[in-house]
Amino acid sequence: MLNFFKKNKQQEQNLSSKNGNSTIDASELFDDTQEDHSERLVETPLSLPPEWKISEEEIYVFRFKNNENEPLKPNQVSLAGYEMDKSGADVNVGGFIRHSLPKSISFNETTVVLMNEEGQRLARASFDLSKAGELPPESSRPHPFIFQKKDLLVEKEEIPTEGWKLAFELKKKPKHSLDLHESWEQSMADEDVSQLEEFVSRLKAPKQGEVNFMGVKAKQAENNDLHVTILIRNGSEKNIELQQVPLQIEDNSGEVIAKGGFTLEDFEVKSNTSKPWTFIFPASLLQKEHPDLSSFKAYPIQK
């Protein structure tokens, strides 16, 4: 642990300075996060690693500084800087790692940047945040961030001791795009492919790690079979392969009108893409004679 609290009077003024917080949605860093659209605010009480052996005075200061942080909204992760020391060769920064998830979390290797009030990047380094240990639900944990000379993006003298903030550097997610099965590529006209590409580009991309189904088109054939075209949307960084797909369809009234299981062969959806596919429900599987297909929902049957 870096003990930043034993400073001279001039440096103690920096300890009291108000520095910025940077907050992101937890889904940017973690998979399997649940949506919470409530307006509630989440307090993040101090959590110290059990192996730390520090004085009551230091615990008091940590708690005091943490209490200055604003509450978070549900499912957020935040970095809050509270102290900087530039007296040595490195730039030593003290910060709180905070989160409002309703479960314990732990980090891995993570890139963190130091920025000024205008958002200019002053330093950038990769930190093994697993050393911070497991954070309890809805908590805040102090952690040192040491930026060495090689990590600085400006001269050390240009780094302000007030008005700075720490932030997670997020990987720029590639644009979500269309992924066509070989059989579709061979049968579709270029104009139709272009229209489908444009349609996919206008949609909000799935959350990181999320796989979902979106209904595109549904119609009944002359023999009353139901043809449903669905976009299978892969928001993860890995390709997925589908073999068995149990589906059910709801019509505009919200009634389930068809259920069925489908077997797919060599069906892969590449990472961060949407792949269309048409599923045909035989008339014998339809549960409603005249479904309202002006709008519909399609989703996998949960076991």
Residue range 183-202, pLDDT digits in tens: 999 999 999 999 999 999 99
Q: pLDDT-based confidence at 296, cuts 50/70/90?
A: very high
Distance, in Å, from the CA atom of 57 to the CA atom of 22, rounded to the nearest integer, reads 27
Among 76, 152, 77, residue whose Cα is nearest residue 113: 152
Its pTM stands at: 0.59
Encoding tokens for residue 212?
Answer: 């979902």
Among 16, 13, 80, residue whose Cα is nearest residue 46: 80
Report whether 106 contacts 134 (CB < 8 A). Answer: yes
Stronger pLDDT, 246 or 236, i.e. the higher one: 246
Phi (first) and psi of residue 273, to 5 degrees: -135, 165
Q: What is the mean pLDDT of the chain?
A: 89
- For the segment 33-71, what is each residue's pLDDT rounded down to a tens digit? 777 767 899 999 999 999 999 999 999 999 999 999 999
- For the segment 18-37, what is each residue's pLDDT rounded down to a tens digit? 567 899 988 888 876 777 76
pLDDT on residue 303: 65
Report whether 77 contacts 99 (CB < 8 A). Answer: yes
Can you list the domains of the chain with their CATH numbers?
A: 9-168 (no CATH), 177-300 (2.60.40)
pLDDT on residue 17: 39
- For the segment 113-145, what is each residue's pLDDT rounded down to a tens digit? 999 999 999 999 999 999 999 999 999 999 999
The residues pairing with 123 across neighbouring beta strands, listed in sequence order, are: 114, 152
pLDDT on residue 2: 46
Q: What Rg value do the Cα atoms of the chain yield, rounded?
A: 26
Longest dimension (CA), the chain: 86
pLDDT on residue 19: 61
